[in-house]
Structure 1
Amino acid sequence: MPLYEHVFISRQDLSNTQAEGLIEHFGTVLADNGGKVVDSEYWGVKTMAYKINKNRKGHYAFLKTDAPAPAVQEMERLMRLHDDVMRVLTIKVEGHEDGPSVQMQKRDDRGDRRERRS
């Protein structure tokens, strides 16, 4: 099955448990349609570059999935209809990277950044 990565932003006035509940909810939607969540991460509340629906902050969540296209389309459709979800981004990938995403790594552990010049 194809591999996908999803990032969605939910409203800032949700509690952490409600935001994490959304991850579980959309994971069950995928499972009901023949897919599975390989890994999920809750990135927490982050400040956005611009306001979305009068919100300056939002709960960010990241999902790595292995699902057929119709299951992903159904999950995206339900995300867009959900009142608490503000934005959704889905990308088809060749393979999932092992370990935590860049957002979850400490700044010191990121080896791909160049030194700044003075």
Structure 2
Amino acid sequence: MPLYEHVFIARQDLSNAQAESLVEHFSTVLADNGGKVVDSEYWGVKTMAYKINKNRKGHYAFLRSDAPAPAVQEMERLMRLHDDVMRVLTIKVDTHEEGPSVQMQKRDERENRRR
């Protein structure tokens, strides 16, 4: 099956638990349609470069999936219909990189510099 990476931004007024439950919800959508989520990361609340729907910040989440194209299309369709999701980006990749994503690596490097 093809490999995909998904990033979505949820509204800033959600709690962390609600944002993480969105990740679980969309993971089950993929699983119900014959795919699987290889890895998921919650990146936290980040400031955006410009306002989207009058929001200056948003909850960022990242998913790595191994799913057929119809499953990904269904998940994207449901994300775009969901009121809490502001933006969605899906990229087809050849291989998944091992370890944490670049966003999580930067956070680890910052913590090491403080010490």
Q: TM-score range by the shorter chain?
A: over 0.9
Q: Does residue 1:79 correspond to 2:54, yes or no?
A: no
Shift of 1:96: 0.2
Equivalence for 1:18: 18
Q: Distance in 2 between matches of 1:4 and 1:102?
A: 16
Q: CA deviation at 1:107?
A: 3.0
For residues 103 and 94 of structure 2, the distance between their equivalents in structure 1, rounded to whole angstroms, comes to 20
Aligned residues: 109
Structure with more of its chain in helix, by fraction:
2
Answer yes or no: is 1:49 the counterpart of 2:13: no
| Structure 1 residue aligned with 2:109 | 107
Counting only pairs closer than 5 Å after superposition, residues 62-101 of structure 1 correspond to structure 2 as 62-101=62-101
Matching residue's letter, 1:45: V
Q: CA RMSD in A?
A: 1.1
Equivalent residue letter for 2:71: A
Asked which structure has the greater CA Rg, the reply is 1
SS in 1 for 2:23: helix
What TM-score results when the alignment is normalised by the length of structure 2? 0.93
Following superposition, the deviation at residue 103 of structure 1 comes to 0.3
Q: CA deviation at 1:5?
A: 0.1
**1:31 counterpart SS class:** helix
Gaps of 5+ in 2: 111-115
Fraction of identical pairs, as percent? 88
Task: Give every structure 1 segment of 4 or more consecutive aligned residues whose post-TM-superposition deviation is greater than 6 Å.
Answer: none
Residue type at the aligned position of 1:107:
E
The equivalent residue for 2:27 is: 27
Q: One-letter code of the match for 1:9?
A: I
